[in-house]
Amino acid sequence: MKTNFHTTLPQSAMKNSSTAHNRMKINSKQDIMTNMKFFPLICIGLALALAAATTAAEPVEPWPTKDQLRSIEQAAYACSRDNSTEACAGVRQLADPLMDHSRLPGLCKDVLWSLMDEARVASTNNFRRKDAITNTARRITRVCAEPVMKKETPKSRQA
């Protein structure tokens, strides 16, 4: 014997059961919407956690030494003076690895880029070419050196 649930209930109970069912649908939709609001936050949190874990695992790349920067500067002087293929190629070979250095500031990379661009053999070795290369080379040791942290001196109280 098949009985229909709605036919066995009185009319008022049917209204109450359908209202309860609709409320359950609305509540489940609200729960889904609430969960959807937090989903992007959860994704961002996971991405940040993964990024922090991979960053912590990478070794810290040391700053270029003063000797390295000075050798690039000396090679640039030789390129401006000699105007030879070997001297100018040496400047580009020394400066190129620093372009991929992760800790160097953008200003340093701009100076290195302009030096690599200027350090090419020219048909005439005029004063403008020499001056452009030497001025750029002088900036390397100032701009690309590791920043020195100033130690704060405690202020003494004066009576």
Q: What is the pLDDT of residue 66?
A: 93
With a cut of 70, say whether residue 56 has pLDDT above it: no
With a cut of 80, say whether residue 42 has pLDDT above it: no
Q: What is the pLDDT of residue 138?
A: 95
Q: What is the DSSP letter of 100?
A: T
With a cut of 80, say whether residue 85 has pLDDT above it: yes
Shared-domain flag, residues 96 and 51: no
Mean of all residue pLDDT scores within the chain? 79
Q: How far apart are CA 100 and CA 113, in angstroms?
A: 11
Higher pLDDT, 73 or 156: 73
Q: Which residues are within 8 A (CB) of 144 and not within 5 positions of it... i.e. 6 or more apart? A: 64, 69, 98, 104, 108, 111, 112
Indicate the length of the chain as a whole number.
159
Is 154 part of a structural domain of the chain?
no
Shared-domain flag, residues 41 and 84: no
Q: In the structure encoding, which two tokens stand for residue 20, read together? A: 């309860």
Q: How far apart are CA 124 and CA 93, in angstroms?
A: 23
The segment with the largest mean pLDDT, out of 46-55, 58-67, 90-99, is 90-99
Range of the domain at 49: 12-57
CB 111, CB 139: distance < 8 Å: yes
Shared-domain flag, residues 49 and 73: no
Shared-domain flag, residues 72 and 138: yes
Amino acid identity, residue 85?
Answer: T
Q: What is the pLDDT of residue 58?
A: 62
Buried b (16+ CB within 10 A) or exposed e, 125-142: eeeebbebbbebbebbee
Residue with tokens 């990379």: 109
Shared-domain flag, residues 87 and 119: yes
CA distances from 120 to 43, 60, 68, 140 (A): 49, 33, 20, 18
Choose the weakest-confidence range: 5-14, 48-57, 92-101, 146-155: 5-14
> Phi/psi at 120 (nearest 5 deg)?
-130, 150
Q: pTM for the whole thing?
A: 0.58
